[in-house]
Structure 1
Amino acid sequence: MEIQAFGVEEWLNVWENDAVYDIAGSSIASMTLEEILNLDPAGKDALLAELLQKKMNYGWIEGSPEFKEEVAKLYQTVKSSQILQTNGATGANFLALYALIERGDHVVSLYPTYQQLYDIPRSFGAEVSLWKIHEEDKWLPSLDELRQLVRPDTKMICINNANNPTGAIMDRSFLEGIVEVAREVGAYILSDEVYKPLEDGLDVPAIVDIYEKGISTNSLSKTYSVPGVRVGWVVANDEVTELFRKYRDYTMICAGVFDDFITTHVLKHKEAVLKRNQTIVSENLAIVKDWVAKEPRVSLVFPRHVSTSFIKLDIPEEIEAFCIRLLKEKGVLLVPGNRFDMPGYARLGYCTHTEMLKKGLEGLSDFLRQFDTPNP
């Protein structure tokens, strides 16, 4: 089986630990374990006591009943039987593709997006048609182009909503348009939904809630600020979930007793987490908007309170070489856009801790001044 190197992960594996100012990530500022325990200050001692009594066995294979109960609350029409715990959303996406995609299948994938969604199907021998996003349309793709790409034998449409790296959001109306196209040919829709938009008034349903062949994946890593537990989930109809169970036995046993326990605690207190994160996203996005307005070499289609953004850089240098020099000389880490097959751009993870963001942007602006023409 041949597969392309995972561009973003390869970049971060090499350079992430060298960063002084890491503004490359797409999670909302990660919580400490103390912050997690203090989501319920009155119950902290009882929680620790319960944790200390946990037996370090395999635990619940599919995720504990408490975990499934909390996940089900995130959806409108989902029962616990439809939920399987995975190793992050990465594991959830892989499980869905592993179980459903075979050599000779036809898959349509949003592009660029999280690389799993198009390169894993290719590695399985599927034919993949790329459904391209357009900057002039606020990084959304065209439904008319989707209709041209879909065929009578299309097996699956893969999307990432909100999109990584751009932060673009497909709202209910747009998603219903995708469902209409998929339903005509009986295609599944796999939707990676790790980036929950935190802007009030947006109607962005999970695909599993609006389409009988919709498959939703999610995790604690982005919107919920706990990537360290490596817990995700996949949700589909009962028939598809039963199929996933068979394939899941070949990819993992359990996510771990400790991870399940912490994940369940975070989800029980999700309102407090989301309130914290709405504040971070709102304040940091205001900082970025002010910075872009003052920075002549940067433009940006601003995300809708989603924790990733994709800046365009007006520089006379290849983007990866620029990002390496920026890191080595200023300690500032971005993800170069060529890692998403988009040279000239970079992923800016603006939802890091606010002081980190401010210092990173200051270093980036200072570095960009080398390209300015001196006044005569």
Structure 2
Amino acid sequence: MKIPCFGVEEWLNVWENDAIYDIAGSSIASFTLDEIIAIGHKSKEEFFEELLKKKMNYGWIEGSPEFKKEVSKIYKNVLPDQILQTNGATGANLLAIYALIEPGDHVISLHPTYQQLYDIPRSMGADVDFWEINEENNWLPDLDELRKMIRPDTKMICINNANNPTGTVMEEVFLKELVEIARSCGAYILSDEVYKPLEEDLEIPAIVDLYEKGISTNSLSKTYSVPGVRVGWVAANAEVTDIFRKYRDYTMICDGVFDDYLATYTLANKEAVLKRNRKLVEENLSIVKEWVANEPRVSLVFPKHVSTSFIKLDIPMEIEEFCIKLLKDKGVLLVPGNRFDVPGHARLGYCAHTDVLKNGLKALSEYLRQFD
């Protein structure tokens, strides 16, 4: 099996530790362990008293009953038994593709998006077509284009909602049309949903709640600000979940006992987590909007209160070369858009801690003045 290098991860592996102002990431500013404990209803003593009693065995293979119950509350039509714990959303996406895709299958993937969603199916011998997002259409894809691409034998449509790197959201009306297109040929829809929009009065349904063959993946890494716990999950109908169980035995045994405990604690206090993160996203996005308005070399299709955005840079330089020089000269880390097959752009993770964002944007503007 041959597979290309993972463009974004390869970039971050090389350059992330050199950053003074890391505004490349796509998580909402990560919690410290102290902050996670404090956001719940236990004292530090109570938290660690429970944790220290945990037996260091394999724990619950599919995730503890408490974890699965908390995850099921995120959905409208999903029972705890339809939840399987994974190693992050990356593990969930891999599991779904590994279990369902065979050589010769037809897969349609949003593009650009998280590279897993198209390069893993291709590595397995699938025939993968790209459903392109369009900057002119606020980074949304065209449903009529999808109708032309769909085939009677299309096995799966892969989406990322909200989109990485652009932060664009497919809303409910759009998703329902997508479901009807998939239903016309019986295709699965695999939806990576790690970026929950945090706008007030904007509720985006999970694909598993809209479609009998919808598969939702998610994790604690982005919206819930705990990427270090490395816990995710996949939610699907009961029949598909049973298929996943068989394949999951070949990809992992379980997440760690401590990881499950911390993930469950975070989800049990998710309303407090989301309240903190809504405030941070709103404040940071307003900072970015003001910065873009005053920065003549940058334009942006603004994201929907999710933690990633995709700026367009008016510079006479290849984007990866620019990002390397920016990092070396100013300590500012972005992800160059060529890592998403979109030159001239860069991923701006604006949901870093606010002081990091402000200082990073100031340094970026200073660096851009050389081109005036």
Aligned-pair distance for 1:56?
Answer: 1.2
Structure 1 partner of 2:242: 242
Does residue 187 of the first structure (1) align with residue 215 of the second (2)?
no
Q: Give the SS at the match of 1:342.
A: coil
- Stretches (4+) displaced over 6 A: none
Residue aligning to 2:78: 78
**How far apart are 1:47 and its partner, in Å?**
1.8
Alignment partner, residue 125 of structure 2: 125
Tell me, in whole angstroms, the C-alpha distance in 2 between the residues paired with 1:290 and 1:10.
32
Counterpart of 2:352, as a letter, is T
TM-score normalized by the length of structure 2: 0.99
Counterpart in the other structure of 1:56: 56
Once the two structures are superposed, residues 72-114 of structure 1 have per-residue CA deviations (whole angstroms, 9 ceiling, x without a partner) of 0000000011000000000000000000000000000000000
Distance (whole Å) between structure 2 residues aligned to residue 200 and residue 41 of structure 1: 25
Aligned AA (2:261) = F
Superposed, which structure 2 residues align to 1:210-229 within 5 Å? 210-229=210-229
Which deviates further from its counterpart, 345-354 or 40-49?
40-49
What is the total number of aligned residue pairs between the two structures? Answer: 372
The separation in 2 between residues aligned to 1:45 and 1:295, in whole angstroms, is 49
- Hey, what does 1:267 align to over in structure 2? 267
Alignment of 1:35-184 (within 5 A): 35-184=35-184
3-state SS, counterpart of residue 39 of structure 2: coil
CA RMSD of aligned residues (A): 0.6
SS of alignment partner, residue 184 of structure 2: helix
Residue of structure 1 in register with 2:292 after alignment: 292
- Stretch deviating more after TM superposition (305-314 or 46-55): 46-55
Larger CA deviation: 183-192 vs 50-59? 50-59
- Where does structure 1 lack aligned partners over 5 or more consecutive residues? none
User: Within 2, Cα distance between the matches of 1:58 and 1:357?
Assistant: 40
2:152 aligned counterpart, secondary structure: coil
Name the SS of the counterpart of 1:107 in structure 2: strand
In the alignment, the residues of structure 1 paired with residue 87 and residue 250 of structure 2 have an alpha-carbon distance, to the nearest angstrom, of 13
Letter in 2 for 1:253: I
Q: Which amino acid aligns with 1:259?
A: D
Aligned amino acid, residue 89 of structure 1: A
8 Å CA contact retained: 2:197, 2:306: yes
Tell me the residue number matched to 1:367: 367
Q: Quick one: distance in 1 between partners of 2:193 and 2:214? A: 12
- Structure 1 CA distance for aligned equivalents of residues 184 and 363 of structure 2: 51
Supply the AA of the counterpart residue of 2:307.
S
Q: What secondary structure does 2:61 align onto?
A: coil
Residue in 2 that maps onto 1:311:
311
| Equivalent position amino acid for 1:260 in 2 | D
1:319-375 CA distance string (max 9 Å, x none):
000000000000000000000000000000000000000010011000000000xxx
1: CA distance, partners of 2:349 / 2:190:
25
Q: Secondary structure at the match of 1:122?
A: helix
8 Å CA contact 2:308, 2:349 repeated in 1: yes
Letter in 1 for 2:226: V
Give 1:43 deviation, angstroms. 3.9
1:203 Cα deviation after fit: 2.9
Structure 1 position 40, deviation (Å):
2.4
8 Å contact kept, 2:40–2:265: no
Q: Could you tell me how far apart the structure 2 residues matched to 1:248 and 1:257 are?
A: 18
Partner residue of 1:197? Answer: 197
Q: Counterpart of 2:338 in 1: which secondary structure? A: helix
Residue 41 of structure 1, CA deviation: 4.8
In 2, Cα distance between the equivalents of 1:192 and 1:216? Answer: 6
Give me the whole-angstrom Cα distance separating, in 1, the residues matched to 2:92 and 2:40.
29
Q: Residues of 2 paired with 1:108 and 1:334: CA distance?
A: 28
**Which residue in the other structure is 1:329 paired with?**
329
Is there any run of 5+ residues in structure 2 with no aligned partner, and where? none
SS state at 1:311 partner: strand
For 1:261-309, what per-residue CA distance to the aligned partner results, in whole angstroms no more than 9, with x for missing partners? 0000000000000000001000000000000000000000000101000
Per-residue deviation, 1:45: 2.2
Cα distance, 1:202 vs structure 2: 1.3
Amino-acid identity (%): 75
Instruction: Describe the SS at the equivalent of 1:47.
Output: helix
Determine helix, strand or coil for the equivalent of 2:234. Answer: strand
- Separation in 2, partners of 1:44, 1:282: 30
Partner of 1:9: 9
Compute the displacement of 1:48 (Å). 1.4
Please tell me the residue identity of whatever aligns with 2:274: L
